[in-house]
Structure 1
Amino acid sequence: MWRGAGQERAGCAWARAWRRCVRLPSGYVLHPFPCQRWMPPVTEAVIAIVALLAGLAAGWWLANRPVAALKAERDAARQEADERRTKLAETAVEIRALQTQREERDAAHARQLEELNTRFEALAGRVLEQAQGQLINRAEQRFAEAEAKNQASLKAVLAPVAETLAKYENRLGEVEKARAENYGALTQALEQVAQGQARVSDEAARLVTALRTSGKTSGSWGEQQLANTLEMAGLRAGIDFNLQASTDGGGKRPDAIINLPGGRQLIIDSKCSLNDYLAALEAGNDPDRLAAMKRHAAAVRNHARGLSEKAYWNEFGAAADFVIMFIPGENFLSAALEHDLALLGWAFDQRILLAGPINLLAIAKTVALNWRQEKLAEEAREIGKLGADIYSAIAVMAEHLARMRKNLTETVGNYNDFVGSLERNVLPKARRFADMGVEQGKKPVPHLAAADAPVRSEQATELLPPPAVD
């Protein structure tokens, strides 16, 4: 039991001896080993575990040794521990001294840094002030030079502008002067227009009065509107249409007859009934206006009935089997058709075609187009006839050419026979006269050049013989 207790106390002593340490301010631990190394806090737990294992091993070893030896070793260990404590205290004093020196050195370094910062700030301020001054001076110089150049450039640029503005002012003065003159002329023109409008209004009033009071005047006005419409469509008076043409008997005279292609005719008669229509326009209330319009539609129906009874298609054999009743105003016709819905169909059953200026213009345009097409067809026929005549003339010319070619061939053959006879029969006999000493005469025999002009061959297919059929 005592041995076990001694061993336990020895183990605890060794454990306490191994666990002695001094913690430094920087967080490192100084262990009681002769090397006394600085170790980081991370390895502290590992060292403690290793020291514990070593203490357990030493306690186990000491438990098996004699007590006297253990006491000797204990005393030696205490002495060694005291020495180590002394060394540790000295080391702690040295560490505190080093820490004090380091703090003093850090404070001195901080003071030096602060002085350097102050000097650098002062130096940087002076350098910055100098640089700013130089920069401002250079900028002022550059600005002055740029301003001078800009002023010169601006003057050079604005010189044409100033000239243009001067010209513009002069031109503006001229325009203003012309505007004043034109304004005066426009004022006079407006006065003349107003006067003309007044005259037109007076003339229109007189025309309305004349149309109301005189049937002959209204009829002449309708006939003139009819002629204007036909001429507007492109028809020619006396050629494409005739006015106031009468029959052979001289009894009936329609206002206009349009000549159609193929010898046919289209008869037009103008009817102008305005009294009831003008009364409807001047009516002060709706019943009076409606009654006047009804009378106007009835008047148009009566005119259509009278025109149907004349039966112009029987008097003019080439005429169409209907007559166009021209009403010189679309508003007159539309008012009558509006208040008599069956008027248009009834009139067509009576072989009367009611037409205003627009419808008549369309009909006349169609007739003019037909005449144009007829003329084109006639010209086409003339062109075809002319082409046939030209082709016949070309055929005659080809016959003459064939005879000329035949004659040319015969001429060449005759020429060749003549030359052969001359060379064979005549010239040998003539040479014998020269050999016999007969005088040859003053005029020598001329030398004949060879006839090498080629005859052009025909290339046109019309002049060549047809190819042989296999």
Structure 2
Amino acid sequence: GERAASAAARAEAAAATADARARGDAEVLARLKVSEAEAELRGARERLAELAGVEMQRQALATELSGLKAGQEERDRAHAAELARLGETFSGLAGKALEAAQAKLAENAEAVLARHREAAGQNLEANRNSLAELIAPMRETLVKYETRLGEVEQARSEAYGGLKEQLAAVASGQRLVSEEAAKLVSALRSSGKTSGSWGEQQLRNTLEMAGLREGMDFTLQAHQAGEAGGRRPDAIINLPGGRQLIVDSKCSLNDYLAAVEAPGEAERLAALKRHAAAVRGHARGLAEKAYWNEFGAAADFVVMFIPGENFLSAAMEHDLALLAWAFDQRILLAGPINLLALAKTVALVWRQEKLADEAREIGKLGADLHAAIATMADHLGGVGRNLGQAVGSYNEFVGSLERNVLPKARRFTEMGVERGKKAVAALPAVDAAVRPVAARELLAPPADDAAA
């Protein structure tokens, strides 16, 4: 019963393995192979149990054979003793008969012992053969199990090898990102110039992301001479109509980073308040520069770019009046999202301006084309009138020739005056008319319209 259940389990595992192999699921196939190997192992264990029973039978037979040998040896010893005693008793009376009987008895005993030995040897060989027959399937099963186990291990290695490589790559990438982030934080903290350069690069990236082109739609670090020795805003965005929008990047992160790394809530709040005060101080300093006075075409306000939404939102969260106060100072606080929206609006206005310029150019071309067509119509009217006059003059010439000249020439012929070799060719009358104009643009306006 157990062997049939094991065989059924192995068949079920083999069917599931074939199904998983057909679907190409490597992981499921690996698990099914392990299940199939476990089913085969249970069958092998059952055979080992049967083999243990056979081994116990063999040991019992060996014990019985040992007992038979011991009994036979005991009987031999007893028989020898008896023979010795009988020999001593009858030695004098029947020596030859006793010797013959003893020899015969020894021969018979040897034959019996040989038969017993042969039977025991046959039983032992039979048991050995039976044991070998039982062990052979077990050996084959163990070999198959080892082979299947190797296949399962290989499949598992192939299934999870790629995942391990990807996890290692992700871990390596995270380490690199962490290292680069640490380097960036260290650089921003160590040098104000480094943080300023980073903010200016973020400003450039935001403007270019909006579709503005450096050198055409905006300029960086443009110098403007003034009373204070010259101003150099971070960026000037060109607006349609010759106007300009001044953008200055301000990046102060020490207090913000201190708040992020603060061990307690009180230290975090204190650092964020210092960060908000630093942002307000930057706005105040930017308002004092009054770029709208240095740049005549500049807008009435200046955009103060903070290169991080979290930096700006943290400052506004702990200084609720910061945005309104800065706007009163003609300073517009903007993070990357707001500046991107503003720059995209400028790019859209430039596209609309370009479309308007193209529309004006198309209108000018249309007016020029209309004037050229009007001039051509005037010339065409003159050509038509001249053609009509030429046809009338031709017909009048032909009529005069027929009425006045040709009758007199015929009189010379009638009078016998020799004429030339070439006869006067007949001249056809021209009655073709000039094609009338049908296009209303080329027609003369009605009298009422002309008077109007």
Q: In which range does the TM-score fall when normalised by the shorter chain?
A: 0.5 to 0.7
**What corresponds to 1:270 in structure 2?**
249
Which sections of structure 2, spanning at least 5 residues, go unmatched?
Answer: 1-20, 30-156
**What corresponds to 1:195 in structure 2?**
172
Cα deviation for residue 442 of structure 1 reads 3.7
Q: Secondary structure in 2 aligned to 1:268?
A: strand
For 2:254 and 2:163, the matched residues in 1 are separated by 40
Q: 1:379 to 1:355 in 2, by over 3 A?
A: same
Deviations along 1:119-139, one digit per CA (max 9) or x if unpaired, are xxxxxxxxxxxxxxxxxxxxx
**What corresponds to 2:284 in structure 1?**
305
- The letter for the 2-side match of 1:278 is L
Structure 2 residue corresponding to 1:467, chosen from 404, 423, 446: 446
For 2:420 and 2:383, the matched residues in 1 are separated by 39
Q: Secondary structure in 1 aligned to 2:302?
A: strand
The 5-angstrom pairing of residues 314-463 of structure 1 reads 314-449=293-428, 451=430, 453-463=432-442
Cα deviation for residue 385 of structure 1 reads 1.4
- Bigger drift between 456-465 and 256-265 goes to 456-465
Deviations along 1:252-298, one digit per CA (max 9) or x if unpaired, are 10000011111111100000011111111111111111111111111
Q: 1:193 to 1:374 in 2, by over 3 A?
A: same
- The letter for the 1-side match of 2:177 is V
Structure 2 residue corresponding to 1:224, chosen from 182, 186, 201: 201
**What corresponds to 1:242 in structure 2?**
219
Cα deviation for residue 324 of structure 1 reads 0.6
- The letter for the 2-side match of 1:382 is E
Q: 1:465 to 1:200 in 2, by over 3 A?
A: same
**What corresponds to 2:130 in structure 1?**
none
For 2:162 and 2:434, the matched residues in 1 are separated by 82
For 1:198 and 1:187, the matched residues in 2 are separated by 16
Structure 1 runs (4+) greater than 6 angstroms displaced: 168-173, 180-187
Asked if structure 1 preserves the Cα contact closer than 8 Å seen for 2:219 and 2:237, the reply is yes
Aligned residues: CA RMSD: 2.9
Q: Secondary structure in 2 aligned to 1:469?
A: helix
Cα deviation for residue 196 of structure 1 reads 3.5
For 1:411 and 1:184, the matched residues in 2 are separated by 101
Q: 1:259 to 1:466 in 2, by over 3 A?
A: same
Number of residue pairs matched by the alignment: 298
Cα deviation for residue 428 of structure 1 reads 1.7
Q: Which has the higher contact order (CA 8 A, sep 6+)?
A: 2
- Bigger drift between 194-203 and 376-385 goes to 194-203
For 1:440 and 1:171, the matched residues in 2 are separated by 116
**What corresponds to 2:271 in structure 1?**
292
Deviations along 1:401-427, one digit per CA (max 9) or x if unpaired, are 111111111111111111111211222
Deviations along 1:304-349, one digit per CA (max 9) or x if unpaired, are 1111111111111111121110000000000000011111111111
Q: 1:184 to 1:372 in 2, by over 3 A?
A: farther
The 5-angstrom pairing of residues 199-210 of structure 1 reads 199-210=176-187
Cα deviation for residue 239 of structure 1 reads 0.8
Cα deviation for residue 362 of structure 1 reads 1.2
Cα deviation for residue 189 of structure 1 reads 6.4
- The letter for the 2-side match of 1:407 is N
Cα deviation for residue 186 of structure 1 reads 8.0
- The letter for the 2-side match of 1:461 is R
Which sections of structure 1, spanning at least 5 residues, go unmatched?
Answer: 1-167
Aligned identity (percent) is 74
For 2:295 and 2:363, the matched residues in 1 are separated by 35
Q: Secondary structure in 2 aligned to 1:325?
A: strand
State the structure with more CA Rg. Answer: 1
Cα deviation for residue 465 of structure 1 reads 2.0
For 1:431 and 1:377, the matched residues in 2 are separated by 78
Deviations along 1:4-47, one digit per CA (max 9) or x if unpaired, are xxxxxxxxxxxxxxxxxxxxxxxxxxxxxxxxxxxxxxxxxxxx
- Bigger drift between 389-398 and 332-341 goes to 389-398
For 2:319 and 2:375, the matched residues in 1 are separated by 72
Q: Secondary structure in 1 aligned to 2:237?
A: strand
- The letter for the 2-side match of 1:290 is L
Cα deviation for residue 193 of structure 1 reads 5.0
- The letter for the 1-side match of 2:440 is T
Cα deviation for residue 441 of structure 1 reads 3.4
For 2:23 and 2:322, the matched residues in 1 are separated by 70
For 1:397 and 1:193, the matched residues in 2 are separated by 76
Q: Secondary structure in 1 aligned to 2:448?
A: coil
Q: TM-score, normalised by structure 2?
A: 0.61
Q: Secondary structure in 2 aligned to 1:441?
A: coil
For 2:417 and 2:425, the matched residues in 1 are separated by 19
Cα deviation for residue 436 of structure 1 reads 3.3
**What corresponds to 1:3 in structure 2?**
none
Q: 1:186 to 1:253 in 2, by over 3 A?
A: farther
Cα deviation for residue 469 of structure 1 reads 3.3
